[in-house]
């Protein structure tokens, strides 16, 4: 699978992709913590629920991305966060004292 987006030829119509989502995925999951790891060829993004009353975290979703796709995801998230903050104000991203670092993370 190529990481390069398809570029339509001059005069060609742009491809429209129909996205399907099953009911369980459409419901989503609540996450309040994320971990990112990488190798030379991929990034792994783990989305976790960190239990506030116990030193336990549960991985709710994992995405494995190419470096190029990770960059595009970050840019899209920054753009959307900017839109959100222009409407609702700046999001406070200071660390929360009741969420400790996971074991093995410095």
Q: Given this model, what pLDDT does residue 105 score?
A: 55
What is the separation of C-alpha 28 from the centre of its chain, rounded to a whole number of angstroms? 13
- Burial call 8-35: b when 16+ CB within 10 Å, e when fewer: eeeeeeeeeeeeeeeeeeeeeeebebee
* pTM greater than the 0.75 cutoff: no
Query: pLDDT 10s per residue in the chain (106 long)?
Result: 455 555 556 666 788 999 999 999 999 999 999 999 999 999 999 999 998 888 889 999 999 999 999 999 999 999 999 999 999 999 998 876 655 565 555 4
Name all contacts of 62-69 with Cβ < 8 Å and 24+ positions apart: 66/3, 66/41, 66/42, 67/38, 67/41, 67/42, 67/43, 68/3, 68/4, 69/3
Q: Given this model, what pLDDT does residue 14 score?
A: 85
């Amino acid at each position: 699978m190529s990481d390069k987006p398809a570029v339509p030829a001059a005069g060609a119509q742009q491809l429209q992709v129909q996205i399907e989502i099953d009911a369980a995925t459409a419901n989503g999951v609540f996450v309040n913590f994320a971990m990112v790891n990488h190798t030379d060829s991929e990034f792994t993004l783990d989305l976790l629920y960190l239990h506030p009353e116990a030193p336990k975290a549960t991985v709710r979703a994992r995405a494995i991305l190419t470096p190029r796709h990770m960059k595009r995801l970050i840019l899209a998230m920054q753009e959307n966060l900017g839109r959100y903050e222009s409407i609702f104000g700046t999001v406070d991203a200071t660390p929360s004292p009741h969420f400790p670092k996971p074991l093995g993370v410095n």
